[in-house]
Structure formats: structure tokens, C-alpha cells
Amino acid sequence: MTYRDIVERFNIREVWLIRTLLRFVSASFASPFSINKVYNTLRFQAISVSKKTVYKYTNYAEQAFFCFTLKRFDFSQRRSELSTPKVYLNDTGLINHLIPGADKQIGRLMENVVLLQLKQKQFLGKVGEIYYYKDQQGHEVDFVADSGKCLIQVTYANGFDEIDRREWRNLINANQIFKSKRLYIITWDYEDG
């Protein structure tokens, strides 16, 4: 169904290429997705394709709501646009179907679900732009919403003592820049006010 939505809608002749690309996108869910790496991998496999085509097909997948890409937050719009995006799938069932063992990657699945919830709120006008944040030392915050007014970390933890110190550190360091009043760590099975 998804293939048809993309293949028929955009009149694609290289069906094998869109299938290959969708597999790459799926395998990268809740992670950075580099078109350059995909292009180089295809070239290494002796598949003749232009980088422009890979960009175009990735854009088609996003337009067909197969996936969403999330840019890295930067105060420079240009640097943000040129950043390597993270990719999320619109249907977590597809993740489990397309990627063997994905059901064991609970942290990534949780992050994907949180992004879908944020996208729903964005569609309803309750949340503004959504990004991820990574500082120069590589410390990452999963989601930055409303121009930094809301910072969100997602972690697979069942209790306070299971939350990795790294999650706290990244959130607190990012907040020194954003001065947000809303900091969240979303866990699997732990709740605290």
C-alpha cells in the first residue's frame, strides 16, 4: 500500500529503488539519516543512481507520510537546514514488520511514538516547530519544541534510579542555552512530578 502511494502518486519507474530506500529509512528510525551514506552505499553496491534522485525519493516518502524528518536545532536557519536529519516512521507497526528485532529496541520505538504525538499536537496548532538538539560535544536532546520553550528526553527506564545520568546532563546543559520552563524526561514506567 505504501509503495503504491509513492510509486503511483509520483509516477516512479524504479520501484526497486524506492523499496530499497524505504528499507534504509526504516532501518534508521529515530536515528540520523544521511542521504550521502545511502548514496555511497548504493554506489558501493554498483547501483547507478544520482544523489539528486535519492533526495527526491526521500522527499516523496515524506510527502506520502511514510516518514518524518527532523532537523537539528540551530540558531542559524542555514546550518539547521544543512544538518543531518533524524528520521521517524509514521507507523510503528511498519517498523516491527520491516525490521527484524525492532521490538527489542524499545527506547527507539518510544522516541518514535513521542515524535508522532508531537506531530499530532503540531497539526492541531498546540506545538510549534519541532527539532532535535545536539551540542558541539555530541550531547543530544531528543526534542526541542516551540523554539526551545519545551525540551524532551525519551528513555527506556522503569524507575528514577534507571534514568541514565547522561539524559539529565544533556537536558540540563541544553537548558542553559534555551532557558526553558518545561523540561521532560519521558520514561517507560516511572512517573514523578
Q: What is the C-alpha end-to-end distance of the chain, expressed in Å?
A: 43
151-183 exposure pattern, b = at least 16 Cβ within 10 A, e = fewer: bbbbbbbeeeeebeeebeebbeebbeebebeeb
**Domain locations along the chain:** 1-101, 105-193
Q: What is the pLDDT of residues 45-62, one digit of tens each?
A: 998 899 999 999 999 999
Contact, 77 vs 64, CB < 8 A? no
Rama region for 184: left / alpha / beta (φ>0; ψ in -120 to 50; rest): beta
| pLDDT tens-digit readout, 142-186 | 999 998 899 999 988 766 776 778 888 899 999 999 999 899 988
Is residue 89 within 8 A of residue 28, CB to CB? The reply is no
* CATH class entry, domain 105-193: alpha beta
Question: What is the tens place of the pLDDT at every residue in 66-100?
Answer: 999 999 999 999 999 999 999 999 998 888 788 88
- 182-186 and 150-154 strand pairing: parallel
Of 84, 71, 78, the closest CA to residue 34 belongs to 84
Q: May I ask the CATH class of domain 1-101?
A: mainly alpha
Would you place residue 190 in the very low, low, confident or very high pLDDT band (cuts 50, 70, 90)?
Answer: low
- Could you tell me the pLDDT band of residue 191, with boundaries at 50, 70 and 90? low
Calpha distance 163→192 (Å, rounded): 12
Evaluate the CA torsion angle 89, 131, 141, 41 in order and state its sign: positive
Residue 193 pLDDT level (bands cut at 50, 70, 90): low
Which parts of 10-140 fold into alpha helices (H)?
Answer: 15-27, 35-44, 51-63, 77-82, 92-98, 106-123
Q: Which amino acid is at 166?
A: R
Write down the pTM of the prediction.
Answer: 0.90
3-state secondary structure of 49: coil
